[in-house]
Structure 1
Amino acid sequence: MKVLISGASVAGPALAYFLHRNGFDVTVVERAPAARDNGYAVDFRGEALDVLAEMGILDEIRRHETKMRGTTLIDETGAEIGQLPAESFAGELEVPKRALTRILHENTSATVEYVFGDSISALAEHASGVTVAFEHAPAREFDLVFGADGVYSTVRRLAFGPHDEMLCHLGLSGAGFSTANHLGLDHTGLLQSAGTTAIYLFSAEDRDRLTVSLSFATDSPELDRRDRPDQEQAVRAAFARNGWQTKHLLEAMTTAEDFHFGSSCQVHLDHWSQGRIALVGDAAYCAAPTSGMGTSQALIGARTLARTLAEAPNDHLTAFAAYETELRPYITENQANGRAAVAMFGGAADSSGR
């Protein structure tokens, strides 16, 4: 059976591994020109460690552990007011995201076809499969198509509907970047939460670099669609009255080469599949970064989806239903935790989850 996966971050390569192991012919398409070499730290919790072990990469992943020692809570002047243990942010195991994506790609590149620098432009399902059009390559036929392409999933938009109908904004947006570690942090973090803003700083893998997160309350994810100057201006406006290190951090933001901006959103769908097309990871059920469960959900979801397909190889509808029935309670709990944690970072989530 020939299948296409959109997205080569975490959920996509993990799903590719398990599907190929079960006898599927797998192609992965990724908009980026190569395996992504960006992102900061990601963490694993609970069953996700079992997934890594089953893939045979847990020991290699452990060699990249950030070994964070905890986070200090500070007030508006920078004075210490409390401590959070390492597992609050780092889970049971934390590694740089670029290490994870590299290992996942290397673990599958010999058995899976990767198409970089391209993206799906249209999906046309018919009785025996799905005709997939691409932005650059010629159209191809697949038996099944999977969207593992993140919160703003192209597959979800094409097969399920507009993003705005699927996303629940949690009242929080923010910028992330790295700069010189002028505070001398060493495998530790600092968190300052003041009203509708929060600053989170940490240094782990590279002691000379400081990872910065500046988050603030917002009414919608509209800023995600703006260009960098507008996003920077929104950050400066939100932090205009903050003291401590804020002025220095805002100056560093302007020259950061790895600046990125995003809003904390959850994805809520009545169903994670539509005919021969199914979603996995953030594309299907993002619980927001505040949940700390995105990477774990991606790995566990990929293994679960592949297993249900292996158990019903000639009946994708039964397999997709089993995948959702088994996984949805776990996702529901993680999304509730993600909403509850937003206040720590300056947001004001809608507790209804919609």
Structure 2
Amino acid sequence: MRTTTVLISGASVAGPALAFWLQRYGFDVTVVEKSPGLRAGGQAIDFTGETHMTVLERMGILDDIARRQTGKTDMVMVNEAGVRQAVISGDFTGGDIEILRGDLADVMYQRTAGSCEYLFGDTITALTELNDGMYVEFAKAPARRFDLVFGCDGIHSRVRRLAFGPESEFVTHSGYYYALAGASHWEENNTGEYSERVVSYACGTPGRLAVTGGSKANQWYIFASPELEYSRDDFDQQRRIVAEKFAGIGGQVPGMLAELPLLDGFYLDSLSKVSMKNFVSGRVALVGDAGYGITLGGFGTGLAVVGAYVLAGELAAAGGDYEVAFPRYQEIMKQYLRKADDSRPGPFLAPKTALGLRFRNWFVGSRAFGLMLKYTDSAKNDIDLVDYPAMIAAR
């Protein structure tokens, strides 16, 4: 019987996670990534609850993540005079376990590099569905045929644009942007773990929040803005946008802006949400942010890892028959997504009015905030997780 060939676009989180399961189930996997290599650092991402922990345990990477985990960071809200206004606990921002995005990608890459083909520094330029597969053209590599193609390439997914339509049809801008600067990869300390409690300080005015310190990133910004026009490859231009948006704020912010041009690991993007009636089409399926992204909403990475687990499991259970597996995958994930639809980190962290700031500062210390955390944790575990590895191994 011929081995099913698959192409995965994207080597951040969803891509290596999907590659891990598909190669385990006997698929022939190729991963294409536009960056010249794995991207180090990035924002801290967290996993919470039984569902997330179960998938990570079944992947056999939970111990690796624990060794690279970042410290849980209490975010202290201060005004421009440095006076403490509120504290957001690291238990909220860090979940059960937390790791830098780049470090998680590296953990999964190490588990797949020997059994999967990785094409770095390249990207898909065209997709054509044939009767017996997908004809894929690349910017650099020769065109090839694959049985299935998966878009794991983020909220600005090229696969989604080529197979489903323009980004404007599916991505809703929330009116907020966020930027990171200075996040670097984990370095093992003497104990072999990095899990101490640390503190970051957040200073803001209506519609703007600037955070510095902690183990997650040297600097983090979030700000309200209409949609911006900028080059996604021009980081100096993006740094200037941040400097302009935060000009005039006192306290720690001027020092942060002075340091900003010197920091690496810079990233700017909109806080946006992907909404799709269908994230499968023909021989193409989307996973993670490409199909159901909720930027900085606390769900994104967990959704990607769970989505990869479900998609690969359904494909293996169906013997590679995508016409059976894809509808099942979509049905399961749409049920899981129901409670994730109300995530709005921008207005919560950087409300646009002084009254909104006062409410935020009161709310994070209230009983209602605790109830919201319980609801969020419940949403992350609201799925009947099939034990695909055991089911398939028993055949």
Same fold (TM over 0.5): yes
What's the offset of the Cα at 1:175?
Answer: 2.4
Alignment of 1:122-271 (within 5 A): 122-178=126-182, 187-204=198-215, 211-223=218-230, 225=232, 227-271=234-278
- Where 1:118 maps in the other structure, the secondary structure is coil
1:196 and 1:217 in contact (8 A); partners too:
yes
What's the offset of the Cα at 1:225?
Answer: 4.4
1:29 and 1:118 in contact (8 A); partners too:
yes
State how far apart, in whole Å, the 1-side matches of 2:213 and 2:231 are. 24
Query: Where does structure 1 lack aligned partners over 5 or more consecutive residues?
Result: 349-354
2:73 and 2:214 in contact (8 A); partners too:
no
- Aligned pair partner of 1:283 in 290, 307, 318: 290
Residue in structure 1 matched with residue 76 of structure 2 by the alignment: 72
1:166 and 1:267 in contact (8 A); partners too:
yes
State how far apart, in whole Å, the 2-side matches of 1:150 and 1:346 are. 24
State how far apart, in whole Å, the 1-side matches of 2:218 and 2:56 are. 26
Residues 319 and 61 from structure 1, CA distance in 2 versus in 1: closer, same or farther, beyond 3 angstroms? same
What's the offset of the Cα at 1:186?
Answer: 7.1
- Where 1:222 maps in the other structure, the secondary structure is coil
CA RMSD of aligned residues (A): 2.1
Residue in structure 2 matched with residue 351 of structure 1 by the alignment: none
What's the offset of the Cα at 1:179?
Answer: 8.7
1:216 and 1:347 in contact (8 A); partners too:
no
Match for 2:319: what amino acid? P
- Aligned pair partner of 1:114 in 108, 111, 118: 118
* 167-176 or 30-39, which deviates more: 30-39
Runs of 4+ in 1 over 3 A off after TM superposition: 221-230
2:21 and 2:312 in contact (8 A); partners too:
yes
Q: Percent identity?
A: 37
Alignment of 1:311-326 (within 5 A): 311-326=317-332
State how far apart, in whole Å, the 1-side matches of 2:151 and 2:73 are. 36
State how far apart, in whole Å, the 2-side matches of 1:22 and 1:193 are. 49
Query: Where does structure 2 lack aligned partners over 5 or more consecutive residues?
Result: 185-195, 353-395
- Aligned pair partner of 1:29 in 32, 43, 47: 32
Report how many aligned residue pairs link the two structures.
337
Residues 347 and 155 from structure 1, CA distance in 2 versus in 1: closer, same or farther, beyond 3 angstroms? farther
- Where 1:170 maps in the other structure, the secondary structure is strand
What's the offset of the Cα at 1:65?
Answer: 1.5
What's the offset of the Cα at 1:224?
Answer: 6.0
- Where 1:149 maps in the other structure, the secondary structure is coil
Match for 1:190: what amino acid? Y
State how far apart, in whole Å, the 1-side matches of 2:154 and 2:351 are. 22
State how far apart, in whole Å, the 1-side matches of 2:73 and 2:12 are. 27
- Aligned pair partner of 1:104 in 108, 114, 120: 108
1:11 and 1:299 in contact (8 A); partners too:
yes
1:7 and 1:147 in contact (8 A); partners too:
yes
What's the offset of the Cα at 1:67?
Answer: 2.2
- Where 2:341 maps in the other structure, the secondary structure is helix
- Where 1:70 maps in the other structure, the secondary structure is strand
- Where 1:141 maps in the other structure, the secondary structure is strand
State how far apart, in whole Å, the 1-side matches of 2:351 and 2:321 are. 43
Residue deviations 1:25-75, cap 9 Å, x none? 111111112222231322112222211110111011101111225222222
- Where 1:258 maps in the other structure, the secondary structure is coil
* 294-303 or 108-117, which deviates more: 108-117
Residue in structure 1 matched with residue 85 of structure 2 by the alignment: 81
Residues 189 and 131 from structure 1, CA distance in 2 versus in 1: closer, same or farther, beyond 3 angstroms? same
- Where 2:26 maps in the other structure, the secondary structure is coil
- Where 2:270 maps in the other structure, the secondary structure is strand
Residue in structure 1 matched with residue 23 of structure 2 by the alignment: 20
Match for 2:235: what amino acid? R
- Where 2:313 maps in the other structure, the secondary structure is helix
2:175 and 2:271 in contact (8 A); partners too:
yes
Residue in structure 2 matched with residue 294 of structure 1 by the alignment: 300
State how far apart, in whole Å, the 2-side matches of 1:168 and 1:147 are. 19
Residue in structure 1 matched with residue 14 of structure 2 by the alignment: 11
What's the offset of the Cα at 1:91?
Answer: 1.2
